[in-house]
Amino acid sequence: MTEKPTDRLTPVPEKHSKFWQNAHLYFDRVYTQMNLDPVWRAFLSAPKRVLTVSCPVRMDDGSIQVFTGYRAQHNNARGPFKGGIRYDMHVNRDEVMALAMLQTWKNALVDLPYGGAKGGIVCDPKKLSSGEKERLTRRYTAEIMPIIGPVQDIPAPDAGTDAQVMAWFLDTYSMMVGYQALGVVTGKPVSIGGSVGREEATGRGVMNVLRKFLATQNKQIAGTRVAIQGFGNVGYHTARLLHERGAIVVAISERASGVFDERGIDVLAAGAYYKENGSLADFNDADAISNDELLGCDCDVLIPAAMENTIDADIAPHVRARVVCEAANGPTTPAADEILRDNGVTVLPDILANAGGVTVSYFEWVQGLDNFFWDAKRVQDELQRVMEKSFDAVNGKADEADCDYRTAAYTIAISRVAEALRLKGLFP
């Protein structure tokens, strides 16, 4: 049978994960309302490039284990690709593609000269020894080397990775190119070219955005009752910075356990306890609380700071907070988003609320390229300026278009990316 030409041109529909579909739904909804050239919709719906790599690693017992890794580059119309690297058992191709897309919108919303990317390795970082994690990181870096670089694609930490992982990343890349390439990765330790304030930056940005939003309601952080899901880098620093400003952190949780105390949790003590025990179980006689109970607990502000899809249509009707501030990427499904909106809950969307991390990553990149390093005050002041300006833009757009904050944020971000595409035109 002869093949018709159209058969070769018709793409085979791929079955994608729920999270991928959710990310596309948020994008599609806004794009179609914006009266933009439909041509760019298809282009922006797919990543520019996704690399899948296989990483054989010698384990401590002498055996060899093969790990799968990814780097998805969504769009670079506004500048080099930029986005974190995640180590988690649930990492998959759809997840990194969806997160890379979110990163494009986030970087555009806070007006950084970057496109969006994301990477990850399917592994349980808690089960790897330090040596195994180092060998895995070095092999993964070498495998994705053809598509990364200080002016091409600049990774950073995400869930399951930290400054030490970025140090190995920097060293591997630098050894291979033959010079110290500070700009290849951000979130490095301060002693080897990292930026002061990067580690806490995502949490600080969450605090900045929440403070600005509360001010629009004539409220302040002091006395606000907050529940935070996820107590890693983002959850801990968000809790600490809000606690320092007088918020009452009534509930915190990690993957397997959580605690609730209506009088307020001692966040620093909880942080030390979690670091030592790897769990919050039995912390300070506070009441145990499950993750689902935390999401529905009695509080003013709910801050999901763990993983995607944790607030779904089953949980959303039980959310008692009046504000959901998305510190994690993609924590609220579109169905849950609608339920929250109908129930009068304000959602501060991820691409705004958690953009502090990539913003200070940008500062770190600039400092590394300049070889001129800033002090903590300058980093904090510049971060606050970017976050407050971005909040004002989203708040203004929401008022003008009479829409929710997520729609407003997407509208601003998509229009900036679409503008860059239009101005650059097609190659060749």
Question: Where on the chain is the footprint of ligand NAD (CB under 6 A)?
Answer: 157-160, 202, 229-235, 253-255, 291, 305-307, 310, 327-329, 354, 357
Q: What is the DSSP letter of 266?
A: -
202 vs 411, which CB is nearer to ligand NAD? 202
24 vs 106, which CB is nearer to ligand NAD? 106
Taking phi over 0 as left and psi of -120 to 50 as alpha, with beta for the rest, 402 belongs to: left
Least distance to ligand NAD from the beta carbon of 18, Å?
Answer: 14
SS3 3: coil
Cα separation, 193 vs 5, in Å, equals: 54
Cα separation, 31 vs 380, in Å, equals: 34
Residue nearest to ligand NAD (CB): 232
181 vs 328, which CB is nearer to ligand NAD? 328
Least distance to ligand NAD from the beta carbon of 251, Å?
Answer: 12
Least distance to ligand NAD from the beta carbon of 103, Å?
Answer: 9
Cα separation, 34 vs 404, in Å, equals: 15
Cα separation, 137 vs 60, in Å, equals: 15
Q: Known catalytic residues?
A: 118
Least distance to ligand NAD from the beta carbon of 81, Å?
Answer: 16
Least distance to ligand NAD from the beta carbon of 297, Å?
Answer: 14
Cα separation, 3 vs 19, in Å, equals: 35
143 vs 162, which CB is nearer to ligand NAD? 162
303, two tokens:
């801050």
290-310 core/surface letters (b: 16 or more CB in 10 A; e: else): ebebbbbbebbbbbbbbbbbb
162 vs 338, which CB is nearer to ligand NAD? 162
Least distance to ligand NAD from the beta carbon of 159, Å?
Answer: 3
335-354 core/surface letters (b: 16 or more CB in 10 A; e: else): ebbebbbeeebbbbbbbbbb
Cα separation, 240 vs 246, in Å, equals: 10
230, two tokens:
């996820």
210 vs 418, which CB is nearer to ligand NAD? 210
For the chain, the distance separating the N- and C-terminal CA atoms, rounded to the nearest angstrom, is: 35
